[in-house]
Amino acid sequence: MSTEKPPVCVTGANGFIGSWVVQTLLNRGYTTIHAAIFPGSDPSHLHSLAGASNPGVRILVHEVNILDTDAVSRAIAGCGGGGVFHVASPCTLEDPVDPQKELVEPAVQGTINVLTAAKKFNVRRVVLTSSISAMVPNPGWPENKVFDESSWTDLDYCKSRQLEDPVYGLWALLEISSGTDDDRPQSHSIIGGNGRSSISSAPYQRGCMLIWKSKFTTLSRMHMVQSFELSKHSLMLFHGKRKA
């Protein structure tokens, strides 16, 4: 029986999370990886990841505006029977001028474009990297009860407090029906090395937490996840026999 891994696509492949997903795929023996990157961004470090230069390994770089359906399709074409790790999404600590256009539309419509292309090319499973912001804030949640998948962010509350996050609108994806499985790890604040140098985010975490505490007063606590653990969890979802 063949042990060859199926082709996969990673959107946002040269970003912090995306680079770790690519590295983890290489560690697991994947040899054909479609790397979708934002147009004009630098993908060079992907080719120097451990295992990237091994015989038979192909990292195919595609410049993709996630709102461009044709570009998304070109990146995912050839991944039939394999998977898509959808990581690309706008993320900023700066106050957006137009939150709907700058954050929500790329996150929601971009994800719809990915799922549509995945269905078109018979992709087996899509792993969508979501965020804890899809679950909180939820003022109606019972105090001291652990948050779980039944908690959804209160959109009206966020709008009233002028809180905007790309994933607040991703509940709409549940209305999409296709033959492609989709799984969604909900990531917290992500720490760890960036996978391409000795630089680590760890020394800066205290300063980051102070900034977050002053800027986002609704946060009573901050949870963190190590970047490598998040990428391993994404592959665990992809390899699972059923949706998590």
Of 178 and 149, more confident: 149
So what's the pLDDT on residue 217? 53
> Does a structural domain hold residue 3?
no
So what's the pLDDT on residue 178? 40
**Enclosing domain of residue 19:** 8-239
Angle between the 105-120 and 69-76 helix axes, to the nearest 10 degrees? 50
Neighbour order of strands in the sheet with 58-63: 58-63, 32-37, 8-11, 83-86, 125-128, 181-183
Check pLDDT > 80 for residue 157. Answer: no
> Does a structural domain hold residue 55?
yes
Residue-wise pLDDT tens digits, 113-140:
999 999 999 999 999 887 766 777 777 7
CA 55 to the chain's CA centroid: 28
Check pLDDT > 90 for residue 163. Answer: no
> Does a structural domain hold residue 2?
no
User: pTM to 2 decimals?
Assistant: 0.74
- By mean pLDDT, which of 21-25, 38-42, 66-70, 165-169 is the weakest? 165-169
Rounded-to-integer distance, Cα 132 and Cα 121, Å: 30
> Does a structural domain hold residue 151?
yes
Task: Look at the block and give the residue holding tokens 């995306």.
Answer: 18
50 pLDDT band, cuts 50/70/90, is: very high
Phi, psi of 203 (to 5 degrees): -65, -15
Sign of the torsion angle spanned by Cα atoms 181, 185, 107, 142: positive
Of 208 and 90, more confident: 90
- By mean pLDDT, which of 52-56, 97-101, 182-186, 222-226 is the weakest? 182-186
Q: Which tokens is 90 given?
A: 């706008």
> Does a structural domain hold residue 244?
no
CATH number at residue 146: 3.40.50.720
> Does a structural domain hold residue 167?
yes
pLDDT above 70 coverage of the chain, percent: 64
So what's the pLDDT on residue 153? 74
Total tally of structural domains belonging to the chain: 1
Task: Look over the chain and give the mean of its residue pLDDT values, rounded to a whole number.
Answer: 76
Closest CA to 156 of 131, 133, 132, 139: 139
